[in-house]
Amino acid sequence: MTVVPPPARSARPLAVAGHVRSASVPCHTHPLLADVDDQLLALRSWTSNPGPKYPLSLAHVRALLCVLDELLRLPLAQAALSRSAGTADSDGLLDGFLVLADAFGTFLAALVALRQHAAELRAAVRRRDGAKLASAARAQRQAGRELEQLAAAVAREAARCTRPAAAGGGGMGGAHAEAAEVARAVAKAVNDTAAAAAVVFLEVGAVADAAAALASPASASPKKSRLLPLSRSRQRSVMGDGEERREGAALEKLQELEQCVRELESESEKVFRSLVQTRVSLLNIHTPTF
């Protein structure tokens, strides 16, 4: 009889099995870096296709920031990042989180203002107060335009701040490569968070603008001009029906906006706090202690 020897163990399964969650310096197969990559993919997928309705959730952003916080708590990951203290990479990452925190702080203030504008606009529609309605609609459209500007600014500024960290580290080895890898992961998190934030800001601004347009008295003027050939009683009847439909559509859109604001206020506050905490963690890593 010929004894068949057992198959030799390959080196690859052992290497993979050796990568367990630990406080070691993250390498490219470290579970936390893999988790960051997974959350980045999920966030990018959501950003490119948030769904048929406007995005009401920042859950993917919060999940990414949570995993990133875990990564920055690894002692030797902190040591890897501390090697780049005072460089363009570290300064850019700090500035990137400051840009995001400022953007979400501005967004929170805009949500509060939109909630007030929507309440005033809804009251004006129900009372058919033309002067108040025009004033509230104008204020709400202005808030929508400011959100559009905020969306463009946050994406542009985040990309500018993180450009050195996102492009650095090519051809390096050892500890420098590890530091560059972590820095690139953080830079991607900043850029993808900014892109997702821009989608949310734009969509909220679009809902606000649509609600203001529906509620505006000017939207009913073309209908009135087409009623001239009709009899006076028929004109009043058709104008009344058209006015009621317009008011109903405006109230429905305002309700949609208020629901959007309510759901986003709480989540935006949590994202803002996470961004501030992450920047503080990075600042502590990059600040030498004696």
When pLDDT is cut at 50, 70 and 90, the band that residue 279 belongs to is: very high
What whole-number distance in Å separates Cα of residue 166 and Cα of residue 184?
5
DSSP code per residue over 45-67: HHHH---SSPP---HHHHHHHHH
The string of pLDDT tens digits covering residues 11-26 is: 333 233 334 444 444 4
What whole-number distance in Å separates Cα of residue 145 and Cα of residue 142?
5
Average pLDDT over residues 85-98: 84
Weakest-pLDDT range from 153-157, 192-196, 227-231: 227-231
Cβ–Cβ < 8 Å for 68, 186: yes
Cβ–Cβ < 8 Å for 212, 144: yes
% of the chain exceeding 70 in pLDDT: 73
pLDDT at 111 over 70: yes
Average pLDDT over residues 139-167: 90
When pLDDT is cut at 50, 70 and 90, the band that residue 198 belongs to is: very high
At 25 the pLDDT is 45
Cβ–Cβ < 8 Å for 220, 246: yes
Cβ–Cβ < 8 Å for 208, 143: yes
pLDDT at 42 over 50: yes
Whole-angstrom CA distances from 7 to 4, 10, 17, 200 are 9, 9, 18, 55
Query: Which of 31, 41, 38, 42 has its CA nearest to residue 77?
Result: 31
At 81 the pLDDT is 80
At 169 the pLDDT is 54
% of the chain exceeding 90 in pLDDT: 29
At 240 the pLDDT is 56
The string of pLDDT tens digits covering residues 157-187 is: 999 998 888 776 554 555 677 777 888 889 9
Whole-prediction pTM value? 0.77
Residue 57 in tokens: 């959730």
When pLDDT is cut at 50, 70 and 90, the band that residue 260 belongs to is: confident
Cβ–Cβ < 8 Å for 81, 286: yes
Classify residue 171 as left (phi > 0), alpha (psi -120 to 50) or beta: left
- The alpha carbon of residue 257 and the mean position of all alpha carbons in its chain are separated, in whole angstroms, by 17
Instruction: Give per-residue burial for 95-104: e unless 16+ CB within 10 Å, then b.
Output: bbbbbbbbbb
What whole-number distance in Å separates Cα of residue 244 and Cα of residue 195?
39
Three-class SS state of 21: coil
